[in-house]
């Protein structure tokens, strides 16, 4: 208990001097297995701190970011069965963050009310909107197209569109990446918009200077595959495999995971084309 009180009393210093640099350091790690083994301890520390300060925006931002990233990495870590469970934590922290900045209180928010709330927010809220929406979207990946999930996706779409309006370059064009996947990963009869998807992917490529390799992987996997463009599919994935990870040491971990995904997608090409 004394330890928790100490953490609570010094939380601002810990967040600034320990937790935020830890997130940055994890992205620079070259040993994926080490991250897979060590990340749960970091997540437990975030949980403990948020138990004492559930409305701390910086902590909620870190938790949404960290749980989303770890959930996405679980397949690479060899624990895909854990992803659906942990995605709930990403969603809950993401929704708490969105509520804290006045976007929406829960995933039942009226769409019109959400749109009005988003118009009131400005560029100082971009990080909260993006990471809150990303945490929510992490959970939606595992809802298998349920009616509730489709309604939630409309809400996350509005959040990401607002991020694009306020700061389209935030986190390597991450909102454009989400929108590219959202519009490109569905058939036309279910609301897919392939040309709009391509626009968002191209913007994400430009804003990231083609160095955030998750963009190329998603572009290939959700757009090129959906429109049966084998040449684009292979070109994007080969670009990922040819990329020198040392060019972006700050993105080493996520780009390393992207390379593994690109290799797998290339091996699956004959199943789709």
pLDDT of residue 97: 96
pLDDT per residue as tens digits for the range 193-209: 899 999 999 999 999 99
pLDDT of residue 36: 83
CA–CA separation, 254 and 24 (whole Å): 11
pLDDT of residue 125: 96
pLDDT of residue 105: 78
pLDDT per residue as tens digits for the range 6-26: 334 444 434 443 445 456 666
- CB of 177 closer than 8 Å to CB of 137: no
Long-range contacts of 38-46 (CB under 8 A, 24+ apart): 39/66, 39/70, 39/73, 40/70, 42/66, 43/67, 43/70, 43/89, 45/19, 46/19
CA–CA separation, 91 and 97 (whole Å): 10
pLDDT of residue 231: 97
- CB of 200 closer than 8 Å to CB of 179: yes
pLDDT of residue 24: 65
Confidence (pTM): 0.89
**Where do the domains of the chain lie, and which CATH numbers do they carry?**
28-167 (1.25.40.920), 169-273 (1.25.40.920)
> Which residues of the chain carry a pLDDT beneath 70?
1-26, 187, 189-191
Which residue has 């009616």 as its token pair? 147
pLDDT of residue 2: 36
């Amino acid at each position: 208990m004394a330890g928790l009180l100490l953490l609570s009393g010094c939380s601002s210093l810990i967040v600034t001097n320990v937790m935020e640099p830890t997130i940055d350091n994890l992205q620079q790690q070259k040993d994926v297995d080490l991250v897979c083994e060590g990340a749960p301890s970091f997540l437990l520390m975030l949980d403990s701190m948020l138990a004492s300060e559930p409305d701390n925006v910086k902590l909620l931002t870190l938790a949404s970011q960290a749980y989303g990233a770890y959930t996405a990495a679980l397949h690479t870590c060899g624990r895909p069965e854990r992803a659906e469970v942990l995605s709930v934590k990403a969603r809950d922290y993401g929704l708490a963050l969105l509520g804290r900045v006045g976007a929406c209180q829960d995933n039942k928010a009226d769409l019109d009310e959400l749109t009005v709330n988003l118009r009131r927010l400005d560029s100082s809220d971009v990080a909260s909107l993006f990471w809150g929406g990303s945490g929510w979207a992490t959970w939606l990946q595992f809802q298998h197209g349920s009616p509730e999930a489709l309604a939630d996706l409309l809400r996350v779409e509005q959040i990401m569109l607002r991020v694009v309006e306020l700061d389209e370059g935030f986190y390597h064009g991450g909102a454009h990446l989400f929108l590219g996947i959202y519009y490109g990963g569905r058939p036309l009869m279910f609301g897919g918009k392939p040309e709009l998807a391509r626009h968002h992917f191209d913007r994400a490529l430009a804003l990231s200077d083609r160095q955030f390799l998750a963009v190329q992987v998603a572009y290939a996997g959700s757009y090129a595959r959906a429109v049966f463009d084998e040449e684009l599919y292979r070109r994007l994935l080969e670009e990922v495999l040819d990329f020198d990870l040392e060019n972006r040491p700050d993105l080493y971990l996520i780009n390393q995971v992207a390379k593994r995904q690109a290799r797998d997608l290339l091996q699956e090409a004959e199943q789709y084309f």
